[in-house]
Amino acid sequence: MGRSIPSISYRLDEKMRQWERFAKLLPKEEQEAFTSLIPLIRNRRSAIDGADESDIGVAILLAIIVQMRGEIDVLKRGGKKYRVTEGRAQDRAGCRSEDRSEDRSKDRDEVP
């Protein structure tokens, strides 16, 4: 009989164990930064699993990069989050910017 394919949870945990050796060599502050990435990685499990990558490390790094880019964009906007859908701004309630009586940019709506 052939071997079964390891689950995504197993593969993530195995990669984290491998990377822990790397983390132990980092300065204390950077070890804490590395540790803070672990929940982010686990929360992106389905995206990582859906990535068509034979090396799970590449998919993990891509998930981290996307998360960090989103955080950078939020910081650039002064901490305000926006969602743009089909070229039109849309808030979490699904209201388009032109449907609101408030004077807002047609490119984006603030999401609370």
CA-closest candidate to residue 85, choices 64, 111, 103, 63: 111
Residue 21 to residues 16, 26, 33, 36, 39, Cα–Cα distance (Å)? 9, 9, 15, 16, 18
Rounded CA-CA distance 69/38 in Å is: 17
Rounded CA-CA distance 23/35 in Å is: 8
Give this prediction's pTM.
Answer: 0.62
CA-closest candidate to residue 56, choices 111, 110, 1, 7: 7
68-102 confidence digits (pLDDT tens): 999 899 998 887 766 555 555 444 445 544 444 44
pLDDT at 43 over 80: yes
What confidence tier does 51 reach under pLDDT thresholds 50, 70, 90?
Answer: confident
- The whole-number pLDDT of residue 100 equals 45
pLDDT at 59 over 90: yes
Average pLDDT over residues 32-39: 92
The two structure tokens encoding residue 50: 């859906």
The answer to whether residues 47 and 95 touch, using CB atoms and an 8 Å cutoff, is no
- The whole-number pLDDT of residue 85 equals 53
- The whole-number pLDDT of residue 6 equals 85
